[in-house]
């Protein structure tokens, strides 16, 4: 079996502190893709990533898109070796609410062995493990045992639409045997995981318009439809108290969970109490008939992500607002089609709109859910690499988040994704005080370096 050459392991050991300071450099760049005020920072992060590849002699280019650039890099071709793509993202979520951060989001700070910064785990830290492993091979051995193509994009957090267009426009240039992605989590500390399922997403903004301008709620309230009242009524009809989504046809394509898979979930050491402690609640809720683990990973869900309208300043203002809006999303499971959901949702909303209200529905982005096959030599190679890097074999899990482009890799490139997460569930992805364990960062680098050897020899 392919093992990491000792000089590669030596290089990794000797460069621990360089690898950390480089991660901190990248974490200092506020590459928030959703916020155009950060466009120059996002470009700077792309340059930083591209420079990492040129330094190790990879053929590197930046693909300019209508949005943020895609960094594309290739190792020097070797014949008769498999080709692996590495996918990751250098963009991050907005850091708000800022005042809840213990240390500022773009000033990486180490506390108790974790580095705190926006993007630490999602995805700069995890993504960088696969660049540092390539650096170790190149600088220690002068070559890699596999052909590597890196696709590091800047729009994962906003739906990956430009990457999708790029792949569809010329899939042949990205031909590969499999795709390695580290943008997920371990099952728990010391329990590395291979994720075989991710949920999809369908994300919307709903805008409701009522009277021509804000009105006195005493003079007009009760006679003029209040868009904020209407919004509440409409949103509350999208899901019932059993956690069942009410959009007609929503569950039509959902594949029921098999008894075997549900038994597999039960065999995972998921603790309801630890989960409640993690999020700071004293009870959980969701779709009836399903466990907490199933609800968050393997069943659809509905969440209001933001809601606004009317007076939000200090004290009371008796106003009937002219408009109200919400951002909301459904998490989808494999086989549900986000476009179909949009059609059904729009038709359903029209039946719910009360008189005196005009509606606008904006489809912000959508992506289907995925399940990847586990009976493959690539998965076996990954499991061996994880054993080497983490000292224990992985568990096989599904997760509730989405990585929109994974389906496109399967459908357009015929390549399955290996979702090898180094993060932890309490890493605060998308929340204040995002963090990443530096020990897991180094384990990830060791695993990645070993994976190139395993994929070359064993898969
Ligand atoms: N790293 C996450 C995906 C993820 C989260 C996987 C949790 C497994 C567990 C990724 O960066 C992400 O946040 N994706 C977005 C995609 C969306 C904006 C289209 C998500 O899931 O909200
Ligand atoms: Zn994310």
Model confidence pLDDT, tens digit, residues 19-36: 999 999 999 999 999 999
Percent of the chain with pLDDT over 70: 99
Tell me the β-bridge partners of 117. Answer: none
| Tokens of residue 434, six digits | 């995002």
Give φ, ψ of 254 to 5 degrees.
Answer: -65, 130
pLDDT score of 137 more than 60:
yes
pLDDT score of 458 more than 90:
no
| Tokens of residue 355, six digits | 């008189």
Do 294 and 265 form a contact (C-beta atoms < 8 A)?
yes
- Give the closest ligand to the alpha carbon of residue 187: 1
Q: Is 184 in the pocket of ligand 1 (CB under 6 A)?
A: yes
Tell me the β-bridge partners of 305. Answer: none
Q: Is 138 in the pocket of ligand 1 (CB under 6 A)?
A: no
Atom of ligand 1 nearest to the CA of 203: 19
pLDDT score of 459 more than 70:
no
Question: Which residues fall within 8 angstroms of residue 297, CB to CB, at 6 or more apart?
Answer: 197, 199, 265, 397, 398, 399, 400
Task: Please work out, in degrees rounded to the nearest 5, the angle formed at the alpha carbon of residue 331 by the alpha carbons of 325 and 332.
Answer: 130
Residue 2 pLDDT: 56
- Give the closest ligand to the alpha carbon of residue 118: 2
Instruction: Label the pairing between strands 200-209 and 114-116.
Output: unpaired
Mean of the per-residue pLDDT values of the chain: 97
Q: Is 427 in the pocket of ligand 1 (CB under 6 A)?
A: no
| CA nearest to 24, candidates 126, 134, 106 | 106
Q: How far is the CA of 418 from the centre of ligand 2 (A)?
A: 17
Position of tokens 């010329």? 170
| Tokens of residue 374, six digits | 């586990």
Phi-psi category of residue 278: left, alpha or beta, with phi > 0 → left and psi -120 to 50 → alpha: alpha
How many other C-beta atoms lie within 10 A of the C-beta of residue 80? 4
The CA-based dihedral angle spanning residues 218, 221, 224, 230, taken in that order and rounded to the nearest 10 degrees: 150
Over residues 374-388, the mean pLDDT reads 96
CA distances from 301 to 33, 134, 405, 429 (A): 25, 38, 20, 19
Q: What is the DSSP track for 398-451?
A: EESS--TTHHHHHHHH--EEEEEE-B-TTS-TTSTT-EEEHHHHHHHHHHHHHH
Q: How far is the CA of 308 from the centre of ligand 2 (A)?
A: 23
Q: Alpha-carbon distance 230 to 240, whole Å? A: 17
* CA 170 to mean position of chain CA atoms: 24
Model confidence pLDDT, tens digit, residues 200-219: 999 999 999 999 999 999 99
Q: How far is the CA of 76 from the centre of ligand 2 (A)?
A: 31
Residue 200 pLDDT: 97
Q: Is 153 in the pocket of ligand 1 (CB under 6 A)?
A: no
* CA 124 to mean position of chain CA atoms: 12
| Tokens of residue 175, six digits | 């031909």
Q: Alpha-carbon distance 355 to 224, whole Å? A: 9
Domains contained in the chain, CATH given? 6-198+369-458 (3.40.630.10), 200-254+300-366 (3.30.70.360)
| H helix or E strand, kind and range, residue 178 | strand 178-181
Over residues 9-13, the mean pLDDT reads 97
Q: Is the dihedral of CA 248, 250, 255, 258 positive or negative?
A: negative
* CA 123 to mean position of chain CA atoms: 8
Q: Is 366 in the pocket of ligand 1 (CB under 6 A)?
A: no
- Most ligand 1 atoms within 8 A of CB, residue of 120, 155, 401 to mutate: 401
Position of tokens 């090898």? 420
Number of H helices, E strands in the chain: 14, 18
pLDDT score of 1 more than 60:
no
Count of alpha carbons within 13 angstroms of residue 251, beta-carbon side: 13
Tell me the β-bridge partners of 59. Answer: 74
Model confidence pLDDT, tens digit, residues 401-445: 999 999 999 999 999 999 999 999 999 999 999 999 999 999 999
| CA nearest to 183, candidates 455, 332, 403 | 403
Percent of the chain with pLDDT over 90: 98
Model confidence pLDDT, tens digit, residues 239-251: 999 999 999 999 9
| CA nearest to 119, candidates 174, 157, 83, 76 | 157
- What per-residue string of b and e applies to 221-252 under the rule 16 or more CB within 10 Å gives b? eeeeebbbbbbeebbeebbeeebebebeebee
Residue 177 pLDDT: 96
Q: How far is the CA of 313 from the centre of ligand 2 (A)?
A: 31
Q: Would you call 143 exposed, middle or buried from its count of C-beta atoms within 10 A (0-12, 13-18, 19+)?
A: exposed
Residue 457 pLDDT: 85
Is the pTM value of this prediction over 0.85?
yes
Q: Alpha-carbon distance 306 to 205, whole Å? A: 9
pLDDT score of 288 more than 80:
yes
Give φ, ψ of 219 to 5 degrees.
Answer: -70, -35
Model confidence pLDDT, tens digit, residues 144-202: 999 999 999 999 999 999 999 999 999 999 999 999 999 999 999 999 999 999 999 99
Protein residue whose Cα sits closest to atom 5 of ligand 1: 401
Residue 446 pLDDT: 98
- Most ligand 1 atoms within 8 A of CB, residue of 35, 123, 183, 363 to mutate: 183
- Most ligand 1 atoms within 8 A of CB, residue of 31, 156, 159 to mutate: 156
Residue 98 pLDDT: 97
């Amino acid at each position: 079996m392919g093992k990491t050459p000792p000089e590669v392991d030596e290089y990794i050991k000797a460069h621990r502190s360089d690898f950390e300071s480089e991660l901190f450099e990248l974490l200092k760049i506020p590459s928030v893709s959703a916020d155009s005020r950060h466009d120059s920072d996002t470009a700077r992060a792309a340059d930083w990533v591209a420079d990492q590849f040129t330094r190790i002699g990879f053929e590197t280019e930046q693909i300019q898109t209508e949005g943020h650039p895609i960094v594309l890099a290739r190792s020097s071709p070797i014949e008769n070796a498999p080709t692996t793509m590495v996918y990751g993202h250098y963009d991050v979520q907005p850091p708000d609410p800022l005042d809840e951060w213990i240390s500022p989001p773009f000033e990486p700070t180490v506390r108790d062995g974790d580095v705190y910064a926006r993007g630490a785990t999602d995805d700069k830290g995890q993504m960088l493990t696969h660049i540092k492993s390539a650096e170790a091979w190149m600088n220690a051995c002068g070559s890699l045992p596999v052909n590597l193509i890196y696709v590091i994009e800047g729009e994962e957090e906003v739906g990956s639409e430009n990457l999708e267009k790029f792949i569809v426009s010329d899939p042949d240039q990205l031909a590969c045997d499999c795709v390695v992605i580290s943008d997920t989590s371990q099952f728990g500390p010391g329990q590395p995981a291979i994720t075989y399922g991710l949920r999809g997403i369908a994300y919307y903004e709903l805008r409701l318009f009522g009277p021509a301008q804000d009105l006195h709620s005493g003079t007009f309230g009760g006679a003029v439809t209040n868009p904020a009242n209407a919004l509440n009524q409409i949103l509350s009809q999208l899901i019932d108290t059993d956690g069942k989504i009410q959009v007609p046809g929503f569950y039509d394509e959902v594949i029921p969970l098999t008894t075997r898979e549900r038994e597999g979930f039960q065999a995972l050491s998921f603790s309801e109490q630890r989960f409640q402690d993690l999020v700071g609640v004293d009870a959980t809720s969701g779709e009836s008939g399903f466990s907490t683990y199933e609800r968050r990973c393997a069943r659809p869900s509905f969440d209001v992500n933001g809601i606004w309208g009317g007076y939000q300043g200090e004290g009371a203002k008796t106003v009937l607002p002219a408009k109200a809006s919400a951002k909301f999303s459904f998490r989808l499971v494999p086989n549900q089609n986000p476009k179909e959901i949009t059609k059904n949702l729009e038709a359903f909303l029209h039946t719910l709109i009360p008189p005196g209200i005009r509606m606008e529905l904006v489809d912000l982005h959508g992506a289907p859910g995925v399940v990847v096959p586990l009976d493959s030599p690539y998965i076996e190679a990954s499991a061996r690499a994880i054993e080497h890097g983490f000292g224990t074999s992985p568990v096989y899990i599904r997760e509730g988040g989405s990585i929109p482009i994974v389906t496109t890799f399967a459908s357009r490139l015929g390549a399955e994704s290996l979702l090898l997460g180094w993060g932890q569930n309490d890493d605060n992805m998308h929340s204040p005080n995002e963090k990443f364990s530096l020990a897991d960062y180094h384990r990830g680098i060791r695993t990645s370096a070993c994976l190139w050897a395993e994929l070359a020899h064993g898969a």
